[in-house]
Structures are given as structure tokens and as C-alpha cells.
């Protein structure tokens, strides 16, 4: 069993969101970077759990990014995983990134490619589906459970108002969300071990991006809260009905 | 040339989000001086021609029972055939669970640039750019798409459905359908409840409710408003409520017309999942709760006193005893 886990570097959830260069670039000034939470808590930790059940499992991590992504990939290795691959490219659009990941996946011959359900910066939710199409593999998106028996995976995924159980033969691409695994914190042994785990750097393949960011913007600020007295709840209902027309 | 809309169904019924994308697709077609067509996969009990009132002129129906179970790989190939049959230059999905699974695959298959999580009509004044949410709703980006065929996945509740007059022509599309590699072995649905992602109104509660035994009043209020129920992360982590009700950065991101937050402080991670709601009401006994800064309306007070009064006032408004 060979697993490829896709890891993305994202700004911390509490990072201040601002833009520079005439609103065309994200302002990285003072931003703390983290492993995209969906990649870390759900995709990577589930892969580690599978390895704990079957020691013969091999976990590789892949990230597409410049050298400044290395602290993030080392942090991921501290949680678990045998080796990491960094595709040495500035990030472009999701098609570009998915193409690089698919190339790594083709070279490595993996049974399972795991991604988080989306990154918390671009919120595209696209990488898993694109990688699956590039590899011509089945794709189960927004999975909340993943179990394995031999080469057959039993996966639970979210559907509107419920969930659905899917059975599929490996290889498969899966995007993971809450429910898949519980968040972990790397321990000292893991952090020490991560320093010496192999981190391969490969050059990107030539791919034309399909989209580009033309500009960023911030939503208009809220007008401010209208407080209603706790003794006058009927007034809130009136406002919601007559002013906000929400009920 | 046309705009093609993927009309998503569940159990043979057209989803509410499909009506939004049909309305949106009709508007995009009007912008581009072309017409809007739709595609439906699987058998259905509904009269598809009636969808014409949302502006769609022609619906390609692949009424193949093999498509009643979802497999993104199979669906992608069928929609690609519909795109060819309709000569689509813009393909529109709802950015719902099906859209998130199919649109990226179709983007690769057709080498068509994808904007997922779109929140507005495309700007075609200079090229083709589409506004989408980024940074979990804390900002937006305008994405320029340069490919000949373009795919837009529209966020649920981002565009209002408008029903007019009209009937759509329904044509059978005899598409090649591959055998699915994914076998659906079990489906569980909470019956009678409003699905969270599609709900117009969401009533959500947090630790301020003190325990799962107190959710009765939340459910009563939700039922009265035809709302879905939701909760904060600590509540889901404590197993007071199921995980699929958790809204926030790491749970579900929603954008209802009305979001009522009871006893939730409003941590930044929670706000990231709800800040696209049109109207936010916060009820919290702590006047310093950060959620008030993101709210439109608020009451500082004890949930156990406010909620029964609130419910009673809504009953009065709606004229129910």
C-alpha cells in the first residue's frame, strides 16, 4: 500500500488578509504559515492511521511550492510520512498544481492519493478532482470515513442532508474532510525524525495555467450591529420581518 | 454556441441549487447573446420542461438508470458529451457536493478554465473574469479565464432564483455511459430535515446552551422557520450534536439568507464558515462576544430566556398557536 498525501501551505486561520501591488498579490507581511488544516488533520492523519494498522504502508507527501514551503513539509513529516517531494514551482492555478501532483503520482505508482477537501486560502476544492481526471482514476470527494480491506476501499462521503457509502477498488483519489480523523500534534520523536527524512526536490513539468487572478478585494464592512433590548424580543422579530425581510 | 447548465438531481428531484444555476446561466447567456441549455443525468419523476420558467430553452436528458448513482468519473464523460452536443462555451455548475466532484474533472477533460465558488455574474467587458470568494469569505478574487470553454461553479445561495414564464424543449441525449467504478452500497438521510447547505435559514447554537438536552428549543425554533440546525465546533467535538452540523472553517461553510447564532462567541474560525450569510443575528449573554462585530442584529441576554420569547414572537407573526 502506497499513499500520496497532498500538502498545501496556507496562511494561518487568524492571519490578517490584505493585498499589495495594486490588489493583485496577497500581502505575506507578518503572515504565519501553516499546513492547510484539511490536508493535515484529515488527509495526512488518516494516512498515518492506515500505516499504524499496516506497517508495510508507505506514505509520501507532495507539495507544489518554492523553497519557503519546506518548513511546512518538514512539519508534516514530523506528524508522519516516510518521505516528501517538493515540486519546485511558484503556485499558479489549480490546474497547474494538479498537473504537477499528477505527474508525481504517475512516477510513484500510488494506490491512494489523499487531499484535503479544499485549501483555506483559495477555497477551490478542485485539486483532488483534477488529479483524478489527469490519472483517469475514480474520485470520492468530501469523504468522512475511509476503511480498507485488501485492495477494496469503503468510503463514506457527504451528500446533501446525509451520507453515502461507496465501495471502490484501489487505486482511487479521495478528498478528506471532518470526521476522517482526529487532529494530532507532532511529538518530539517525530520532530527529530523529520529532520532526516528524505525531502526530494523535483522540477515542474511544463503546463499552461487555465486561469489567473486578475485582482483581489475585501468585502464591504458591515454597517454595525443593531442591538435590541432583551426585554423587547418582539422588536427583533419585527426588524427581521419588516427591515431585513429575512423571515 | 450556448451556455450549458448542469441540473443536479437527488432521488429523481431537481435540487434547489439547480434552479439558482439555471437562473444564473440564463443571465450569462443573455450577456453573451446566446441561449441556455441544460443537462440532466439519470431518470427523474419531474416534468423537466417546466424548468423553462427559469430561462432554459433546451434540456438534454440522459435518462439512463445507470446514472441514478453518482460517480464523478462517469458523470464527467457524459456531461462532456452534452457540452459537445450543445456547443457550450460556458458550463455552469452549482458549487455543491456534486459540482465540487465533477467540475474539476470536466475542467481537465475539456481544458476549460474553472472558477469554483463564484459569487457573481462574469464580467465580459474586458475578457472574461468571475468574482469568487477566497480566504474563507474574508476576501474575494476576480479570476480571469482565458480558455475557449469556461466552467463556473456558483456558490449555493449566491444568486437568487427568478421564475418567469416558459417551457423547455426536452431532448433525449443518447450518450455513452461507462460502467461506474464506484459502487454505492448505502445511503442514509435524515428525513424531514432541511439540508444545511441549501437552507435559507439556519439556527445554530453553541456551548452557551450548556448541554445536548437543551436543543429542543433550538429545534422548535428551526422547525418554525423551516430552518436547518447547526452548531459550533466545541458542540460537535463534545458530541452534543452530529459532526455534519458543525459550521465553521473546518466544518461546513454556509451562506443562508438568515443565520441565527445562539450562545456562540464567534471565534474567527466559526465566522469563516458563516460570514457569507446575508443577515446574521447573534444572541449571547456576553456583550463582549466577538460575534456581535460581525452581526446585523443582536440581543445581549440569556439564551434560555430569549429563545422562548423569540419563538413565541415568531409564532405570533406567523399566526400559529
**Distance of alpha carbon B117 from alpha carbon B92, whole angstroms:** 11
What is the percent of chain A where pLDDT is above 70? 100
Q: Smallest CA–CA separation between B22 and chain A, in Å?
A: 19
Query: How much is the ipTM here?
Result: 0.94
- Taken in order of first residue, the domains within chain B and their CATH numbers are 2-172 (3.40.50.620), 196-318 (3.40.50.1220)
Nearest C-alpha of chain B: how many angstroms from A200?
27
Of the two residues B191 and A110, the one the predictor is more confident about is A110
**What tens digit of pLDDT does each residue of B111-151 get?**
999 999 999 999 999 999 999 999 988 899 999 999 999 99
N-term to C-term CA, chain A:
53
Please name every residue paired with A164 in a beta bridge, in sequence order, or none if there are none: A157, B187
pLDDT (tens digit per residue) in A130-182: 999 999 999 999 999 999 999 999 999 998 888 999 999 999 999 999 889 98
Q: Name the pLDDT band for B191 (thresholds 50, 70, 90).
A: low
State the Cα–Cα distance between residues A130 and A126, nearest whole angstrom. 6
Residues B30-58 have a mean pLDDT of: 96
CA–centroid distance for A197 within its chain: 22
pLDDT of residue B157: 87
Q: What pLDDT is recorded for position B168?
A: 97
Cβ within 8 Å, pair B140-A137:
no
From the list A130, A136, A230, the residue facing B306 with the nearest CB is A230
Give the nearest chain A residue to B299 (CA atoms): A228
φ and ψ at residue A24, rounded to 5 degrees: -110, -15
Question: What distance in Å separates residue A198's CA from the closest CA in chain B?
Answer: 30
Check whether B152 has a pLDDT greater than 90: yes
Question: Residue B95's pLDDT is what?
Answer: 96
Asked whether the beta carbons of residue A121 and residue B135 sit closer than 8 angstroms, the reply is yes
Residue A14 has pLDDT above 90, yes or no: no
DSSP of A84-135, one letter per residue? EEEEE-----HHHHHHHHHHHHHHHT-SEEEEES--TTT----HHHHHHHHH
H/E/C letters for each residue in B100-155?
A: HHHHHHHHHHHCCEEEEEECCCCECCCCCEEEEEEHHHCEEEEEEECCCCEEEEEC
Average per-residue pLDDT for chain B: 95
Q: How confident is the model at residue A62 (pLDDT cuts 50, 70, 90)?
A: very high
What average pLDDT score do residues B12-16 get? 92
Scanning the structure block, which residue is given the C-alpha cell 468571475?
Answer: B130
Contact B46, B170 (CB under 8 A): no
CA A211, CA B149: separation in Å to the nearest integer? Answer: 12
* Domains of chain A, CATH where assigned: 2-218 (3.40.50.620)
Contact state of A178 with B250 under an 8 Å Cβ cutoff: yes
Average pLDDT in the A196-225 region? 94
| pLDDT confidence of residue B192 | 62
Residue B321 has pLDDT above 70, yes or no: no
Residue A13 predicted with pLDDT over 90: no
The torsion of the CA quartet A131, A132, A135, A137, rounded to 10 degrees, works out to 170
Q: Is pLDDT of A53 > 90? A: yes
Interface probe for A, chosen from B8, B11, B79, B101 (most Cβ of A below 10 Å), is B101
Helices A127-135 and A94-108, interaxial angle, to 10°? 50
Say if CB B296 and CB B302 are below 8 A apart. Answer: no
Whether B193 shows a pLDDT value over 80: the answer reads no
To the nearest whole Å, the CA of A195 is away from the closest chain B CA by 29
pLDDT digits (tens, 9 = 90+) for B63-114: 999 999 999 999 999 999 999 999 999 999 999 999 999 999 999 999 999 9
The answer to whether A214 contacts B129, with C-beta atoms less than 8 Å apart, is: yes
What is the structure's pLDDT at B189?
Answer: 84
Percent of chain B with pLDDT over 90: 88
Q: Are A155 and A165 in contact (CB under 8 A)?
A: yes
Judge: A159–B10 Cβ closer than 8 Å, yes or no.
yes
pLDDT at A220: 83
Average pLDDT over residues B203-211: 96
Amino acid at each position: 500500500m502506497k499513499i500520496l498525501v497532498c500538502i498545501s501551505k496556507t496562511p494561518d486561520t487568524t492571519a490578517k488578509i490584505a493585498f499589495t501591488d495594486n490588489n493583485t498579490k496577497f500581502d505575506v507581511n507578518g503572515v504565519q504559515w501553516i499546513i492547510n488544516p484539511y490536508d493535515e488533520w484529515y488527509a495526512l492523519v488518516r494516512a498515518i492511521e492506515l500505516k499504524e494498522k499496516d506497517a508495510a504502508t508507505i506514505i509520501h507527501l507532495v507539495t507544489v511550492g518554492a523553497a519557503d514551503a519546506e518548513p511546512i513539509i518538514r512539519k508534516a513529516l514530523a506528524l508522519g510520512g516516510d518521505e516528501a517531494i517538493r515540486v519546485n514551482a511558484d503556485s499558479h492555478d489549480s490546474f497547474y498544481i494538479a498537473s504537477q501532483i499528477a505527474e508525481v503520482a504517475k512516477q510513484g505508482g500510488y494506490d491512494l492519493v489523499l487531499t484535503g477537501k479544499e485549501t483555506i486560502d483559495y477555497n477551490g476544492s478542485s485539486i483532488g478532482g483534477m488529479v483524478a481526471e489527469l490519472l483517469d482514476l475514480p474520485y470520492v470527494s468530501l469523504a468522512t470515513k475511509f476503511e480498507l480491506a485488501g485492495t477494496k476501499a469503503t468510503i463514506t462521503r457527504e451528500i446533501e442532508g446525509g451520507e453515502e457509502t461507496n465501495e471502490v477498488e484501489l487505486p482511487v483519489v479521495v478528498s478528506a474532510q471532518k470526521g476522517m480523523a482526529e487532529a494530532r500534534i507532532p511529538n518530539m520523536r517525530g520532530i527529530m525524525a523529520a529532520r532526516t527524512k528524505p525531502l526530494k526536490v523535483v522540477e515542474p513539468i511544463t503546463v499552461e495555467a487555465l486561469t489567473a487572478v486578475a485582482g483581489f478585494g475585501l468585502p464591504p464592512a458591515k454597517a454595525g450591529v443593531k442591538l435590541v433590548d432583551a426585554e423587547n424580543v418582539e422588536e427583533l422579530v419585527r426588524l427581521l420581518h419588516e427591515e431585513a425581510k429575512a423571515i | 454556441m450556448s451556455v450549458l447548465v448542469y441540473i443536479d438531481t437527488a432521488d429523481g428531484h431537481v435540487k434547489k441549487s439547480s434552479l439558482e444555476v439555471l437562473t444564473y446561466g440564463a443571465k450569462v447567456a443573455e450577456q453573451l447573446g446566446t441561449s441556455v441549455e441544460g443537462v440532466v443525468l439519470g431518470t427523474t419523476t419531474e416534468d423537466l420542461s417546466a424548468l423553462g420558467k427559469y430561462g432554459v430553452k433546451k434540456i438534454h436528458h440522459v435518462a439512463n438508470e445507470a446514472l441514478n448513482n453518482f460517480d464523478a468519473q462517469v458523470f464527467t464523460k457524459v456531461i462532456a458529451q452534452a457540452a459537445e452536443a450543445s456547443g457550450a462555451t460556458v458550463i455552469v455548475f452549482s458549487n455543491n457536493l456534486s459540482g465540487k466532484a465533477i467540475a474539476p474533472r470536466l475542467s481537465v477533460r475539456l481544458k476549460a478554465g474553472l472558477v469554483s465558488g463564484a459569487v457573481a455574474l462574469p464580467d465580459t467587458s474586458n475578457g472574461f473574469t468571475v468574482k469568487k470568494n477566497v480566504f474563507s469569505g474574508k476576501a474575494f478574487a476576480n479570476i480571469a479565464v482565458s480558455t475557449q470553454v469556461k466552467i463556473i461553479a456558483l456558490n449555493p445561495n449566491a444568486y437568487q432564483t427568478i421564475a418567469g414564464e416558459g417551457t423547455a424543449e426536452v431532448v433525449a441525449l443518447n450518450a455513452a455511459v461507462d460502467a461506474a467504478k464506484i459502487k454505492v452500497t448505502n445511503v442514509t438521510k435524515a428525513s424531514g430535515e432541511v439540508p444545511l447547505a441549501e437552507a435559507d435559514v439556519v439556527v445554530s447554537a453553541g456551548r452557551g446552551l450548556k448541554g445536548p438536552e437543551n436543543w429542543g428549543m433550538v429545534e422548535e425554533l428551526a422547525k418554525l422557520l423551516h430552518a436547518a440546525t447547526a452548531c459550533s465546533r466545541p458542540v460537535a467535538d463534545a458530541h452534543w450534536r452530529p459532526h455534519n452540523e458543525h459550521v465553521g472553517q473546518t466544518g461546513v461553510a454556509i451562506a443562508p439568507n438568515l443565520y441565527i447564532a445562539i450562545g456562540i462567541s464567534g471565534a474567527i474560525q466559526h465566522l469563516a464558515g458563516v460570514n457569507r450569510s446575508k443577515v446574521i443575528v447573534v444572541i449571547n449573554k456576553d456583550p463582549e462576544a466577538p460575534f456581535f462585530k460581525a452581526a446585523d442584529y443582536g440581543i445581549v441576554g440569556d439564551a434560555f430566556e430569549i429563545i422562548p420569547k423569540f419563538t413565541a414572537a415568531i409564532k405570533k407573526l406567523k399566526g400559529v398557536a
